[in-house]
Amino acid sequence: MSSTLTQIPELRYDDLLAEARARLPALCPEWTDHGPADVGITLIELFAALVEMIRYRTRRETEAMTRAFLELLAGKDIAREPDLAAAMRLALAQVWTPYRAVTPADYESLARDAWPHSPEALALAGKSGLRRVRCLPERDVEGGAPLALAPDHVTLVVLAEPGHTGVYTPLRRFFEPRRILTTRLHVVAPTPVAIMVDASLYLDDDVAPATARARVLDALSGWFDPYSGGVDGDGWPFGGEVFLSDLYALLDGVPGVDFVAEVGARSPAPERALKTGDGAPVGLRVDPHEQVGLDLAGSQLRLFEPTSDGWKEVLA
């Protein structure tokens, strides 16, 4: 038995054609030939016939036709659900639920939203947490040239929660049926980049140098922390570049520090300096797959306290 969709208005060929012709003078005044020999009128007649045909079919949709469409959309199991309305709801829920990873946003959203509820994640018994995910299209970070264009490759850079280091292989299995067939997927941890900070810090006269130094080290460690650092306190982002202006502001705001000078940033990795047009350093470049980390042992922090004769460097 067919079901009638009475909420859809009747659409007949003659009415559609008449309404389209009536609108032509207002929409296209230069179109004056409305006879059947005109190509534009022929197209209008064609579209009117198609609309009437589609409207006719929607009024006569049988249960068998509906289940055939449901099988195409959601598979045989859902199509055979005895309750047709329930089968339609299940099919729509399946269609609306993201599954396939095509764009970088797909990879990131699936890792964020679908991964925690997957069998692969549940098998890790609470050790599947991901703090940050970034998808790099056409990049093969594992191939030795992470910045080179690599068609068909996709790299998913993942920072796991502390102690959750076993997520990378299961996460790759999670994406295996979701990736496009020809996509070569890489799931990797961020590449660490050591950052060393140099600065001369001039202290207030009422603070002990050891206390000031401890506060400075805490400020720097917190600023570069991958889980709680950065501007927004949500962790230093992948590829987040290091700017001297931020370091000036950070160190100058440490309690007990009067002012700072000669702030610099270094890294053992070559060719990372960011400079102005006249060659003045402004920071360090960090690539999209990299995560900065502070090297306190390699940093050079000089402390000065005020004396009657000016500033004197002290050891803390």
Short-list 197, 124, 183, 122, CA closest to 154:
183
Residues 215, 283: one domain?
Answer: yes
Q: Are residues 108 and 202 in the same domain?
A: no
Using the 3D structure, point to which of 139, 157, 188 is the last residue of a domain.
188
The answer on 131 and 82 residing in a single domain is no
pLDDT-derived band at 300 (thresholds 50, 70, 90) equals very high
The answer to whether residues 131 and 204 belong to one domain is no
pLDDT, one tens digit per residue, over 28-56 is 999 989 888 899 999 999 999 999 888 87
The verdict on 184 and 202 lying in the same domain is: no
- Tell whether 223 and 140 lie within a shared domain: no
Domain co-membership, 199 together with 294:
yes
For the segment 142-162, what is each residue's pLDDT rounded down to a tens digit?
988 999 999 999 999 999 999
Q: Which residues contact 249 (CB under 8 A, 6 or more apart)?
A: none
CA distances from 177 to 107, 138, 171, 253 (A): 12, 19, 11, 50
Number of H helices and E strands in the chain, helices first, is: 10, 13
Listed residue (22, 11, 14, 24) closest to 51, CA to CA:
11
Same domain, 181 and 275: no
| Domain end among 126, 154, 188 | 188
Quick: pLDDT tens for 234-269. 999 999 999 999 999 999 999 999 999 999 999 987
Residues 208 and 298 grouped into a single domain = yes
Position 1 scores a pLDDT of 44
Note the pLDDT of residue 209. Answer: 93
> Do 22 and 72 share a domain, yes or no?
yes
Chain centre to alpha carbon of residue 251: 31
Among 140, 168, 188, identify where a domain stops: 188
Q: Give the number of domains in the chain.
A: 3
* Residue 243 sits in the same domain as residue 259: yes
The predicted-structure confidence for 176-215, as pLDDT tens digits, reads as follows 999 999 999 999 999 999 999 999 999 999 999 999 999 9
Residues 69 and 176 in one domain: no
pLDDT in tens, 106-130: 999 999 999 999 999 999 998 999 9
Q: Please give the residue range of the domain that contains residue 306.
A: 192-314
Q: Is 70 exceeded by the pLDDT of residue 7?
A: no
Separation CA 299–CA 272 (nearest Å) = 17
